[in-house]
Amino acid sequence: MNKLKILTLLMAGLPTAAHGVNDDFSDDGLWDLSPEELGQIRVTSIASGTPTPLDKAAAITTVITANDIEAMAATDLDEVLETVPGLHVTRSQLAYAPRYVIRGIASANNPQTLVLINGIPVTNLALGNRGNVWAGMPLKSIAKIEVIRGPGSALYGADAFAGVINIQTKGPEDIDNLKVGVGYGSFDTKSSWFQFGSNEGPVKFAASVEYETTDGHQGKIGEDAQTLNDQNTGTSASNAPGPVNTMRDSVEARFEVGYDDITVRLGYQGRYNIGTGPGLIEAIDNNGRFASNRYNFDITHQADEIIEDFSVVTQLSYYQDSQEVEENVQLFPPGTLLAGTFPDGFIGNPGYKEEIVRLNFNSLYKGFDAHLVRIGVGASWGDVYEVTESKNFNPDFTPKPGGITSVDDTDEVWLPEKDRTSYFVYLQDEWKFAQDWQLISGVRYDYYSDFGDTTNPRLSLIWAATDDLTAKLLYGRAFRAPSIEELFVTSNPVTLGNQDLSPEIIDSYELGIAYQVNKQILLSANIFHYEIKDFINFVDIGNNRRQAQNIGTRSGQGGELELSYEVNDQIMLVSNYAYQKSTDKRTEEDVGSAPNHQLYARVQFDTQKNVLFSAEVNWVGEQSRAANDDRDPTPSYTTIDLKYTQQNLLQGMDLILTLRNLSDKDVREPSPAGTITPTAIPGDYPMVGRSLLAEIEYSF
């Protein structure tokens, strides 16, 4: 097989997002491998833009393939991400939105982790995260997940702070027939999906649609924010004890078409009937329902060798997001007594729409001996518009005489309508200065119209000590841009913005080693240390209000260990352990709300008789509280998950059974110190108990 065909295999399924272009520059031994051996290598391009074996990547990176996902007892993206060392998935009080906490770095909205879909950010301008009506992501359309643990702003700009998650959806190279499926499981969960594609001929395309509806797990909350309010006012309005509300309906649709050197993608994520979790201000809300509609479009043109040794990728993308209220959101339940009586509940219905347009040019020059030079420039324009709110209370929390009233386009609306323009330029050099050594250096400059500019460098020194042992020393700086909410909110009943905010800055240092012990065993380990300046959080300023402020510095250190052991042709063991400690430098105390220890292990059996079975154990250590929270740490917990797949139960039909939390462990994730009371939900947030999902999939 010639180099061009091998390169095609390497690039198949790699995201365009890492600013990479197809190239045949490599001296790392890839060309010496057979196609069979090549298929066993985990290749990533997220770390530098160049397809690279995972052990030699210029960052601490995890790659999860569609085959890995099929072996896992996971039913949603969040459950897959929990298997990544150093990454913990916990919950926000805002509609129970997932928080992806990497190495202990997170705040209430979790904007410090950048999530990409096919290389394009799904960052929400208003809040800085994925939006509070994210509601997870199904798995059938996912081809690969790449995760950088550590900063990535030198390539990806804002919000690539604690880490980067790139979700690559299935394209024509992944879907070559018609596949349909249905599922049913606990909590009245029903799902169905459809996939079809063609990789033949000049026009290649793929389409995927997934639908799910569920009542949610309805774990019990014993006390909430209204419980204490009842005690203080003599009312009995609280819905606690009662269930957390995690119902949802979701639609995921993806379409991709490629012709020659042009690729076009369309996507839609619809979320409906979304419950408010423990309530938006941690008072159980049995009534409120949210919806969200996300649309994305991108077109990519790849021009190889437009002049000798020079290639360019041009990408134009459009992203639109919304938050809509389907049923009145009861911040406090009917009968509550605040600065007046609210027989119908204390109601606030916040909504908005936003859109972002991006244009990027990413070039690769291979004309220098032993160098790959990348230059990128780009611009984006984003707009938060159609901000809406209806509510039945005044700014001083007294009842509005007319009941629920629209305050759109007034000073009382919860979020001002704002736009943001940004520009960037970056330069990166990959220099193989000796047979076994490579130095990757880069710097990126970003300018933002609403807070200023920032410059972020990186250095990665990689030493292939032997064919089996690789070591890497990494340095990176990253920043996190303040969100529109953090900068400009003036009329939210709970939080206030601050136009004097500076961006968060992190400097990170890492040492990693990968060792191929033999053909069956691969070990990798890393240690890290980081320093954070100007960390942003909402600080209590009295009168039940919190304001966004730069609260000083944090530091963190830890390490991660990974093992992959192919016992024989039928049995595989995958495991990892992670430790982190993140400290607030003002108090010298653990910042809390993340486990210091995590351990994960999966054993998978392939009987080679069309039966696949896997068992997983996930142990999460205790989680300390934040400085203003005097509760005991959240206890550690262990969950066991099982998955059974019977392939070709009938010709072309597979049966899949997934059992999660086998022992029905009462798993709790930490609730924050309350927004209205010091500990609004003292018993923490309940997670999913025992659940079973059965699926039937048919391939034509």
Q: Using pLDDT thresholds of 50, 70 and 90, give the confidence band for residue 541.
A: confident
Q: Is the peptide bond before 241 cis (omega within 30 degrees of 0)?
A: yes
CA 644 to chain centre: 27
The pLDDT of residue 33 is 42
Query: Considering the chain, what percentage of its residues have pLDDT values greater than 70?
Result: 93
The pLDDT of residue 94 is 81
Question: Contact 486/501 with Cβ under 8 angstroms?
Answer: yes
| CATH code 2.40.170.20 for 3-699 | yes
The pLDDT of residue 543 is 64
Return mean pLDDT, the chain: 90
**Hey, which bits of 328-345 come out as E strands?**
330-332, 336-337, 341-342
Say which range, 39-43, 129-133, 338-342, has the weakest mean pLDDT: 39-43
Q: Tell me which residue has tokens 């993340």.
A: 594
10 phi and psi angles, rounded to 5 deg: -60, -45
Q: Domain extents for the chain?
A: 3-699
The pLDDT of residue 305 is 84
Three-class secondary structure of residue 193 per DSSP: strand
58 phi and psi angles, rounded to 5 deg: -85, 30
DSSP 41: S
Count CB neighbours of 552 within 10 A.
Answer: 14
- Mean pLDDT, rounded, for 191-207: 95
How far, CA to CA in Å, does 119 sit from each of 18, 265, 497? 7, 12, 30
Question: Contact 48/33 with Cβ under 8 angstroms?
Answer: no
Stated pTM of the model: 0.93
What lies within 8 Å, CB to CB, of 96 at 6+ separation is 244, 246, 275, 277, 278, 685
Burial class (CB in 10 A: 0-12, 13-18, 19+), 381: middle
Q: Please report which helix (H) or strand (E) contains residue 442, including its range.
A: strand 437-448
The encoded tokens of residue 321 equal 């997001």
Question: Contact 221/243 with Cβ under 8 angstroms?
Answer: yes
The pLDDT of residue 173 is 93
pLDDT digits (tens, 9 = 90+) for 246-294: 999 999 999 999 999 999 999 999 999 999 999 998 999 999 999 999 9
The pLDDT of residue 50 is 84
Separation of alpha carbons 162 and 508, rounded Å: 9
The pLDDT of residue 286 is 94
**Hey, which bits of 308-370 come out as E strands?**
310-327, 330-332, 336-337, 341-342, 346-365
Q: Using pLDDT thresholds of 50, 70 and 90, give the confidence band for residue 680.
A: confident
Closest CA to 602 of 612, 591, 592, 611: 612
The pLDDT of residue 522 is 94
DSSP 56: G
Question: Contact 563/576 with Cβ under 8 angstroms?
Answer: yes
The pLDDT of residue 136 is 86
Partnered with residue 620 across adjacent β-strands are: 598, 637
Separation of alpha carbons 316 and 260, rounded Å: 17
Sheet containing 163-169, strands listed edge to edge, beginning at the edge strand earlier in sequence: 61-65, 142-149, 163-169, 113-117, 120-121
Which is higher by pLDDT, 288 or 136? 288
Closest CA to 315 of 301, 295, 297, 296: 301
Question: Contact 142/170 with Cβ under 8 angstroms?
Answer: yes
The encoded tokens of residue 246 equal 């995690």
**Any idea how long the chain is?**
700
